[in-house]
Structure 1
Amino acid sequence: MSVKTLLKRPFDWVILLFFILFVGLFIFTFFNETFYDTPVGQITKIENESTTNITDDNHNKDTKYNQTLTLKILNGKFKGQTTTISHHYIASQADSEAFSKHNKVLLHIDKHLDDAYITEKKRDSLVVMMTGIFLLTVLLVGRKIGLQSILSLVFNTIVVLLAIYLHNKFPSLNLFMLMSIGVVLTTIFTLLLVTGWRWRTLVTVVSTLLGTFVCVGVTQLAINLTDGAGLKFETMSFLTLPPKEVFLASVMIGTLGAVMDVAITIASGMTEILRRTPDISMTRWALAGRNIGQDIMGTMTNILLFSYLSGSLPMFLIYLKNENTVTYTISMNWSLEISRAITGGIGIVLTIPITILLMQLWFKMRGANP
């Protein structure tokens, strides 16, 4: 199929325009230093001064590198000038970072250029590239549904950030309440955008919200009955908020996506079965919905578990490297994550019968016409 033939379809023009915009923005990131308030420098020369083998108290071995970096300032009042900076990093890069020639870095400069030091790499090119590839892939594979998914993702992100912003701006507002309102809004918007206004959309919205909030309620009940025993809330000790409130909000947000996926899968599957076999018995129809739920229940629970555990894997390894026991390491790093995964699994399991019952109820109220 030729390019000319492909571009006859309107949505292909959307993809082409997005690709052009993405490439243009990616190229722009290589020349956008003047738009930064933070000084930006480019490494033009690296001199290796010395290398030292180091060993800590727990016999962990590493290598320390001492370098002198020559940088050219690309913006600000020192633009065009050159300076040298002493840089030290270790091979594991646990608390430092290695740089290469031609890397662009963000700098902190007081009054004199000699006082400059590196704060971090300039990473906007990488961020734009990865974001663009992700969005372009979603559009190419999902097409219009992919575009709707992107809009949903943007909306959901804005809602969550807005809830956090409002809580920071007005501390008297309860964070859990704000997140609950956000969950309701994101659920309605996402399902309306993805599935359109259909009778099963209402069923999916209600079952998603019921599954999510029942899951949070069960979690709250379990915490009250056990007084939170086993949950390492001290890992959130730097928060100035009640840790249980933050934990429940995180459970609600984390559970929502999995519960929504289960609800929409069962509702869509049962709708299609009803459309193809309108004379199916109510019992058989409910059994089909249960089978669909059982097929996805295990995979969705695993997705939740792996998603939560992966984020704390680096800290998990650091604990083990410093001769902490496995049980202590798990309790300090994975206590809350495992709890979130388990409670999310409860939400997934509860959503299956809730969705099936609501589908049956709606069927009786509206008749067999899907």
Structure 2
Amino acid sequence: MTKILKMVLPAMLLAGLFVFLFFWNKVEIVPLIQNNTQQFEKAVVTKILQDNLQENGSRIGNQKVMVKFLTGPDKGKEVKAVSTNGSLYGATCKKGMKVITLTNKAGEVEITSVYSFDRTWIVAGFVLFLFALLILVGGKNGFKAVLGLAVTFIFIAFFLFPAIYRGINPVLAAVITVSLSTIITIYILGGYTAKSAGAILGTVSGVIIAGLCATIFSKIAHITGYNVSNIEALIFVSKYTQIQCGDLLFAGILISSLGAVMDVAFSISSAVTEIHKVDNSLGLKELFKHGMNIGRDMMGTMANTLILAFTGGTLSELVLDYAYDIPFLQLINSYAIGIEIIKGIAGSVGIILTVPLVAFFAAFLCGKKDGVKKQKKSDKEKL
């Protein structure tokens, strides 16, 4: 009966949660731009009317091509289109290439251009390749990891974004997202165990610590969420919506820290649990010590991983600063660099402090469970 409840109850809660997310995601988006005159569709290039390839191999100017719509109300229709020679828009078209087109309408006039190469199925293929690799290498645990990734994506896409858009404080929305995603993901990976409980408590604590550190560091450094590079666009959006753009920076730090903190927390909790299984005579102090030893070996590499991840995210800007030989005082006091440093340090602090927290939680839960078993055994012996 207990086993059935352990299976049915989570399934019912999960189903209820997904029903909530379905209705929660029904948000009426305020139209910020008049895009009813624009139409994006899939198409295939049927003919190159005018190429822009030069004798030296470079491309200058635009291509003029014929495209055939594969989707939309004009499916099957062929029209002339222009493909610009740009790094962000357009594509180097060849006959048979599948592209995304943008059609602008003004009355009876329609102008079609090539927006980009159609990479929809390529992106989907990479995602499926990742999932297949996880399952192939990890087997059952790999499949659980895929489910965990799906859960995280669902919470970010269907809870976090609508919550922020509805006017909920982004930091609070991020904390709820992190907590729910952590609970479900770790439950999928570890089930109803002391290992899972310790990892959940450690992960949520570590991520919240990272957010608190970011908030404290930013106040001391006089950096706010209004100092991000795209703040003008965010302020414009916030005028017509309920989005609190000033706290998006700190909410982002919470979300970006989740993966690394969860990795450390689950690994330490799992290790402590296995040690306890091998020798259940170990008490809280000894288990905590073992957990700390394991955590010390991990925290250096994981903190380094987080720093490198944030650095990689701003690499193009750092290379530009290097190429222009920006003075050190200008560089270290710029908002962009200050924000990246805060992100890296706050996340690393979260990882470091997760180690003792999850080591204690896991040791306490294992020892408590063992103590209950010993008490039951002692009661039976008395009888």
Query: Could you say which TM-score interval applies, normalised by the shorter chain?
Result: 0.7 to 0.9
CA displacement at 1:63 relative to structure 2: 5.7
CA distance in 2, matches of 1:345, 1:274: 28
State the alpha-carbon separation in 1 of the partners of residues 137 and 73 from structure 2: 47
**Deviation of 1:198 (Å):** 0.8
* 1:262-284 Cα distance to aligned partner (Å, 9 max, x none): 11111111221222233446555
1:112-144 residue CA offsets vs partner (Å, 9 max, x unmatched): 686221222222221221122111111112222
Following the alignment from structure 2 to structure 1, what is the Cα–Cα distance between the partners of residues 222 and 76?
62
- What is the match of residue 351 of structure 1? 354
Residue equivalent to 2:170: 175
1:72-91 equivalences under 5 Å are 72-89=68-85
Q: Which runs of 5+ in 2 are unaligned?
A: 1-38, 236-242, 375-383
Decide whether aligned partners of structure 1 residues 44 and 326 sit closer, same or farther in structure 2, where only a CA change above 3 A counts.
Answer: farther
Q: Displacement, 1:186?
A: 0.9
Partner of residue 101, structure 1: 95
Between the aligned partners of 2:59 and 2:183, the Cα distance in structure 1 is: 53
Q: 1:329 to 1:95 in 2, by over 3 A?
A: farther
Q: CA deviation at 1:213?
A: 1.3
The C-alpha deviation readout for 1:311-357, integer Å capped at 9, x for no partner, is 33344445666x46275567454432332121111011101111222
Residue number in structure 2 paired with 1:200: 195
Matches within 5 A, 1:77-226: 77-89=73-85, 93=87, 96-109=90-103, 110=105, 115-161=111-157, 162-168=159-165, 170-171=166-167, 173-226=168-221
Q: Secondary structure at the match of 2:63?
A: strand
Q: CA deviation at 1:80?
A: 3.9
Amino acid at match of 1:107: T
Unaligned runs of 5+ in 1: 1-36, 54-61
State whether residues 108 and 117 of structure 1, in contact with CA within 8 Å, keep that contact through their aligned partners in structure 2. Answer: yes
Shift of the 282–365 alpha-carbon distance from structure 1 to 2, 3 Å rule, reads: closer
Indicate how the Cα distance of structure 1 residues 127 and 113 shifts in structure 2: closer, same or farther if over 3 A, else same.
Answer: farther
Q: Is the 8 A contact 2:214 2:342 kept in 1?
A: no
Which deviates more, 212-221 or 188-197? 212-221
CA spacing shift, 1:360–1:79, aligned 2, 3 Å: closer
Residue 305 of structure 1: how far off its partner (Å)? 1.9
Q: How far is the alpha carbon of 1:245 from its aligned partner? A: 1.2
Distance 1:82 1:267 in 2: 61
TM-score (norm. length: structure 1): 0.75
Measure, in 2, the Cα distance between the counterparts of 1:324 and 1:96.
33
How far apart in 1 are the matches of 2:127 and 2:96? 23
Per-residue Cα deviation, 1:140-166 (whole angstroms, up to 9, x for no partner): 122222222222211111112222113
Flag the 1:81–1:318 CA change in 2: closer, same or farther, 3 A.
farther
Matched letter for residue 222 of structure 2: D
Q: Which residue of 1 aligns with 2:269?
A: 267
1:296 aligns to 2:298 (yes or no) = yes
**Residue 265 of structure 2 corresponds to residue 286 of structure 1:** no
The answer for the alignment partner of 1:340 in structure 2 is 343
SS of residue paired to 1:71: strand
1:98–1:335 Cα change, 3 Å: farther
What TM-score, normalized to structure 2? Answer: 0.73
Cα distance between partner residues in 1 of 2:110 and 2:137: 51
8 A Cα contact 1:51 1:66, kept in partner:
no
Structure 1 pair 83–320 and aligned structure 2 pair: CA distance change class (3 A)? farther
Pick which of 250-259 and 77-86 moved more: 77-86
Tell me the secondary structure at the aligned position of residue 83 of structure 2: strand
Contact 2:43 2:67 (C-alpha < 8 Å) held by counterparts: yes
Match of 1:277 in 2: 279
SS of structure 2 residue aligned to 1:235:
coil
Q: Give the superposition deviation at 1:85.
A: 2.8
Letter aligned with residue 105 of structure 1 = V
Aligned residues: 320
RMSD: 3.1
Q: Name the counterpart of 1:56.
A: none
- Residues 237-286 of structure 1 deviation map (CA, whole Å, 9 limit, x = unaligned): 13235555111111111122211111111111122122223344655543
CA separation of 1:326 and 1:268: change in aligned 2, threshold 3 A: farther
CA contact (8 A) 2:83 2:115 kept: no
Paired residue type of 2:229: T
**Contact 1:40/1:74, CA 8 A, preserved across alignment:** yes
Q: Residue type of the partner of 2:100?
A: L
Aligned to 2:33: none
Q: Is the 8 A contact 1:52 1:64 kept in 2?
A: no
